[in-house]
Structure 1
């Protein structure tokens, strides 16, 4: 099974709470096993852990990680690193390579990323060569490299499950042991 983890760089707690939360939610929805936050923001961790608790799955979040150490350890264990940006190789040109990775770390920045990230990454990937949202970059990339159909994935141990319906909202409260 493919392992994907997201490394979030440059999160500014006073400015980026909502967007970083959405980056994490998107990564979880589309198959990442966890998110590493290279900043200290316990509020983001609490929010995402609450979502996992209520909506299921095994998504983990690590707060205040040292990004250089995380990348070094990931690569030492045989993983590859893909930095998403608006600079780099166009995503369609590397999609097959990314899909073939068994262990992939996706790096996404908030503010300007440290220049060394471009050297540490195995791929610097442009998700469109125009300004865009980190959430969009994560969503497009994970959807393109997914095994199967990520939007039909079921999350284990969910307290809540949405039932697809043409109109209205139907949510089932699941009994858990």
Structure 2
């Protein structure tokens, strides 16, 4: 989020046709829950465009980019690397340490979210291998829970700049307005 060192999400691997929705949802979840940018595999251009479109319509800041060398991105990251996996340490056991490294030591975080089979080198390169649960689950769910724990709920109060559309919270219904209409009411 804007008041802390960068949090970037790296979507590791993408199988076109099979992973399109999941890769898109990784990016949208990263954006909605406080990350500063998402880095997608170079063959995920459709997901990239969807994420950029949502950011344009509903506000930012948030960046999305393609990367043709994900292993190098992990290896060369200037900060700490958190690999989200069901095989890692329990999030409740390491979240305080990760939060302190990010906020107190002012270190950027790269959150690696797997898709297809994750190479063992990713486990070795990561500073933490973190399991939100040690049961099979969606990488999107793991990312959402981790970001909420990292930011301790502050991401839910985030302000969005330059939005073309704003969703009005309400008990029932679906109301989307322009920021100008919101100011008038």
Q: Confirm or deny that 1:4 pairs with 2:24.
A: no
- Equivalence for 1:19: 22
Q: Confirm or deny that 1:117 pairs with 2:129.
A: no
- Equivalence for 1:105: 110
9-18 vs 65-74, which moves further:
65-74
- Equivalence for 1:159: 164
3-state SS of paired residue (2:10): strand
TM-score by length of 1: 0.92
Q: How does 1:27-176 map to 2 (within 5 A)?
A: 27-74=30-77, 77=78, 79-100=79-100, 101=102, 102-146=107-151, 149-174=154-179
RMSD value, Cα: 1.3
3-state SS of paired residue (1:63): strand
Q: Distance in 1 between matches of 2:153 and 2:89?
A: 24
Offset at residue 108 of structure 1 (A): 0.7
Kept in 2, the 8 Å contact 1:41–1:63? The answer is: yes
Q: Distance in 2 between matches of 1:65 and 1:151?
A: 32
3-state SS of paired residue (1:107): strand
Following TM superposition, the consecutive aligned residue runs of length 4 or more in structure 1 with deviations greater than 2 angstroms are: none
TM-score by length of 2: 0.88
Q: Deviations over 1:15-47 (max 9, x none)?
A: 000011111111101111111113412111111
Gaps of 5+ in 1: none
16-25 vs 146-155, which moves further:
146-155
Q: Distance in 1 between matches of 2:33 and 2:153?
A: 11
